[in-house]
Chains A and B, each alone.
Chain A
Amino acid sequence: MIILKALLLLLVNFILYMSFGSFFEIRKTKKWSLAVTTAVGFFAYYAVFALVCLPIMLTYRPLSLLSLIWVVPCALVPVASAIIFRKQWIMKFSDIRSDMKENRTFYIVVAAVTVISAALVVCSYNFTLDAAYYVASVTTNVDTNMINVYDPFTGGWLDHFELRYVFATYYANDAVICQLTKLPALVETKSVMSAVIMITVNILYAHISRKLCNSRTRQVLMYVLMMLTNYMFISIYTASNFLMTRTYEGKSVVGNIALILVFVLFARLITDEERSGRELLQLFVVCLGVASASSTANMVIPAQVCVLFIPYAVMKKDLKMIPKVLLCILPEIVMMTVYVLYVKGWFAIYTFPR
């Protein structure tokens, strides 16, 4: 029963991501990508969740209230999205079906590698110190029906919120899902979210190989070699290691989905016939959403955005683009500033009104 529930939840997650992402990717007169829709939708989902979660958490409201409120966008967005984008979805799935007939080998290889990789990470046992915080924060939040006011390590009450983690509402979402579905936290985090992340990464890899390579053989080769790189580029520090062994963690989301998606959005500016003119809006959504996954994003994402987009703006002599790019990374800059002030002892946010 738990396995069936987890599989259903996996499917629901992707429906939600596609629904959220459609608002940022689909334009009626232009080509659009299902892969980019799903990946941007992933971050749109977590961005909206963070905006709902933080006021509830910081005013000591119970997790059950957040769960109750979060049901509303989860129900409304797919319905609204289906009403608005139904035709585009149907056309896209029909295009994909005919594309499958022409590129059968590519789809079979992608499906096989994705399923094998997801199964490997879902079925493996890994001991990591960080899980002692991340997963335990989910179990603790569900058990206490509060959000981040108890110490996941010991279960004791916290005097003030630990700001290193408090904006990482990605795990609070896991707690909400566990509360709503009664799924054990370890299953939601280490199985469902591991599979979600591995599948999303493979969707992006398939998209990149299709866009960069013009021959079918080359597309298959590139995709397979991308995944092979993840299996082989292993030290305890590489993003590939996070993907293969700590898949469900926010750091894995930053290193393997956000960085790749920002690269895809950048490459679109240069190459793509699917260029929508919304790349910077999508970039903002990614930056906002990924800030809720891990504090690592506060350092890595602004750096990557500046490395990719500012030289592009300078080379294209489009200097008006630079302030827009800087606006995209504003969530990370704000969070980094808040965190630095907290670490330097400027303020504390209490877990009880004083």
Chain B
Amino acid sequence: MQGVNVFENGIGYMLKCLSLYTAGTGFFVMYLAAILFIVIKGSKRDRQIFIPQAVVLLVTVYNPLTPVILDKIFDVSSEYYRLFWIAPVVVLVPYVASLIITDAKAGAQKGVTAALIAAVFVLGGNFVYAKGYTAATNIYKVPDELITISEMIHEDSDTEYVKAFFEYEYNMEIRQYDPKMLLCVDREDYIYAVNYSYTQEMLENDDRPQDKLLALLVRNQKLYPDQFTNALDATNTAYVVLTKGHPQIPFVKSAGLYPIGETATHIVLKYDLKDPYEYELVDYSEVQHRFSYRRLK
């Protein structure tokens, strides 16, 4: 869970986690109220179904000590919230709501009860499309421009596989559409660059040329032109795709890259690699098909 971990929060972790999980919605409170309703007014069958699990959940998953104990065995900080999925909120709350509405006396009382419950559901929740519904513009469900850029690069390139640098969203999306587009930066490296700057020591490490690309193109840190082009050569990256307003476009052009095309919001720049090599898939046709593992400890 982002920004909350068991080590720092100790027994306060569970409540913080629950607070982030519910995000101001009232559904967890409604779940507790529904349990109370079942205890007081539920049938024997309803109590047998819903009450034992609620009690066990309360003393296990919702016990502030549980994540602290579990964390000594596994790192549970990032995924503990998924245990909250076990509480059958989506079953019990609607069930009790439907019982309350249908048990109300016919006429005005039923109407008012239904309206009140509908209001609690709507006002006590966060509507999934509250910030608007974004419809996909093509069957691939990626931006149209990404498809155009992919076609543009393959048309320009002489090789089957090409390696490129894309900015954040396109970097995450391009290989979902185009597996022949190789990337010089993987997801974790990109996420690091979004959050942290690179130290001089990191930029001097020639084993990680991608850090130089990220420092310049994500962090806007200063680099010499040959540091940038050497990083492109080291990673065999021939194409750089940037948004048109990117502040490093003049620098990138001065380093020797030139535009081969553009879309409404992006520009595709090419670098003539000093010593390009063609990417080839590993040949498995001759290998022995046997399971291979190694004990490391």
* Contact across chains for A127 and B296 when beta carbons are under 8 A apart: no
The secondary structure that dominates the A interface is helix
* Contact across chains for A349 and B292 when beta carbons are under 8 A apart: yes
Q: State whether the Cβ of A123 lies closer than 8 Å to any Cβ in chain B.
A: yes
Q: State whether the Cβ of B99 lies closer than 8 Å to any Cβ in chain A.
A: yes
Mask, B26-64, CB within 8 Å of A = 1, is 010000000000000000010011001101110011000
* Contact across chains for A303 and B86 when beta carbons are under 8 A apart: yes
Query: Which chain B residues numbered 157 to 196 have a C-beta less than 8 Å away from chain A?
Result: 161, 169, 171-173, 175-188, 191
* Contact across chains for B98 and A222 when beta carbons are under 8 A apart: yes
Inter-chain contacts of B84 with A (CB < 8 A): 237
Report the minimum CB–CB distance from A339 to chain B (whole Å).
9
Range class of the A interface residue count: 35 or more
Looking across the interface, which residue of chain B has its beta carbon closest to that of A226? B94
Q: Per a CB cutoff under 8 Å, which of B57, B182, B291 touches A307?
A: B57
Query: Which chain A residues numbered 266 to 320 have a C-beta less than 8 Å away from chain B?
Result: 266-267, 270-271, 296, 299-300, 303-304, 307-308, 311-312, 315
Which of A67-75, A94-102, A180-188, A324-332 lies at the binding interface? Answer: A180-188
Inter-chain contacts of B139 with A (CB < 8 A): 2-3, 184, 186-187, 191
Range class of the B interface residue count: 35 or more
Q: State whether the Cβ of A215 lies closer than 8 Å to any Cβ in chain B.
A: yes
Q: State whether the Cβ of B297 lies closer than 8 Å to any Cβ in chain A.
A: yes
Report the minimum CB–CB distance from B282 to chain A (whole Å).
5
* Contact across chains for B53 and A311 when beta carbons are under 8 A apart: yes
* Contact across chains for B91 and A260 when beta carbons are under 8 A apart: yes
Mask, A48-91, CB within 8 Å of B = 1, is 00000000001111100000000000000000000000000000
Inter-chain contacts of A151 with B (CB < 8 A): 186
Q: State whether the Cβ of A93 lies closer than 8 Å to any Cβ in chain B.
A: no
Looking across the interface, which residue of chain A has its beta carbon closest to that of B123? A232
Q: Per a CB cutoff under 8 Å, which of B1, B102, B117 touches A215?
A: B102
Q: State whether the Cβ of B234 lies closer than 8 Å to any Cβ in chain A.
A: no
Mask, B188-220, CB within 8 Å of A = 1, is 100100000000000000000000000000000
Instruction: From known contacts A186-B142, A303-B86, infer whether A60 and B176 are also in contact, taking CB-CB under 8 Å.
Output: no
Report the minimum CB–CB distance from B27 to chain A (whole Å).
5
Q: How far is the CA of A119 from the CA of B286 in the complex (A)?
A: 47
Q: State whether the Cβ of B293 lies closer than 8 Å to any Cβ in chain A.
A: yes
* Contact across chains for A237 and B21 when beta carbons are under 8 A apart: yes
* Contact across chains for B175 and A155 when beta carbons are under 8 A apart: yes
Inter-chain contacts of A29 with B (CB < 8 A): none
Q: State whether the Cβ of A140 lies closer than 8 Å to any Cβ in chain B.
A: yes
Report the minimum CB–CB distance from B112 to chain A (whole Å).
15
* Contact across chains for B290 and A270 when beta carbons are under 8 A apart: no
Inter-chain contacts of B173 with A (CB < 8 A): 127, 131-132
Which of A15-23, A103-111, A340-348 lies at the binding interface? Answer: A340-348
Q: Per a CB cutoff under 8 Å, which of A131, A251, A254 touches B172?
A: A131
Which of B128-136, B245-253, B257-265 lies at the binding interface? Answer: B128-136
26 inter-chain pairs at a CB distance below 8 angstroms, sorted by A residue, are A2-B139, A60-B287, A136-B176, A144-B179, A150-B281, A152-B175, A153-B183, A154-B175, A155-B180, A213-B95, A215-B102, A218-B102, A221-B102, A225-B121, A229-B27, A233-B89, A235-B22, A245-B128, A255-B85, A259-B88, A263-B88, A271-B45, A299-B76, A311-B56, A346-B297, A353-B292
A residues near B, CB below 8 A? Answer: 2-3, 58-62, 120, 123-127, 129, 131-133, 135-136, 139-140, 142-144, 146, 149-157, 184-187, 190-191, 208-209, 212-213, 215, 217-218, 221-223, 225-226, 228-241, 244-245, 251, 254-255, 259-260, 263, 266-267, 270-271, 296, 299-300, 303-304, 307-308, 311-312, 315, 340, 344-350, 352-354
15 new A-B contacts, CB < 8 A, other than A153-B186, A307-B57, are A124-B133, A129-B187, A132-B171, A139-B175, A151-B186, A226-B90, A226-B91, A228-B121, A232-B126, A235-B25, A236-B23, A300-B82, A307-B86, A308-B53, A352-B282
